[in-house]
Copies of this chain bind each other. A is one copy, B any other.
């Protein structure tokens, strides 16, 4: 949390005790640690990698925007993970990129509304699976109807596919229900 000033190591030559850059600023506070764990679990539920949850969890509990290098140090993750993770989060709209005058680094701030993340999950993860299931089911139904199967077998297959269809339909109808429920 708090204040991440650009560290122009070159200028400050072991002089003033200017906000002496306490070691703890580079470590997670108890609150940050809990937030990180909370969102790691959440991210995994949504099918995102751990690092995404870590980054969002950190930003969520950060009092002000954080530059990438601080994200890296605090979470102990690599430059690559941080860069990719932040870009993904930005694309999801879960995180906003800002910049500050006199600082070349990009800063990031969490969007505290998880709406976009949930919507992305529904649209990009759940919906495709549902659709995929519908396609496959339709294909099975046409195979079952096609000639070439014993009558008894065909009948059994059709009964089962019908039962499956019922569930598939329920799943499909659940989606808008969830959307309405979460108002998104």
Contacts and interface: CB of A to CB of B under 8 A. Distances in A.
A61 B133 contact: no
Interface in A8-26: none
A114 B38 CA distance: 31
A129 B60 CA distance: 19
A37 B136 contact: yes
Interface stretch (A65-73, A74-82, A93-101, A137-145): A137-145
Contact of A157 (B61, B136, B140, B144): B61
A1 B31 contact: no
How would you classify the secondary structure of chain A's contact residues: helix, strand, loop or mixed?
Answer: helix
Interface string A110-154: 001110000000000000010011001101100110000000110
A163 to B, nearest CB: 5
20 contacts: A2-B153, A30-B143, A31-B140, A31-B144, A31-B157, A34-B136, A34-B139, A38-B136, A41-B129, A41-B132, A41-B136, A42-B133, A60-B164, A61-B157, A61-B160, A114-B167, A170-B181, A174-B178, A177-B177, A177-B181
Interface of A: 1-2, 30-31, 34-35, 37-38, 41-42, 45, 60-61, 63, 112-114, 129, 132-133, 136-137, 139-140, 143-144, 152-153, 156-157, 160, 163-164, 167, 170, 173-174, 177-178, 181-182
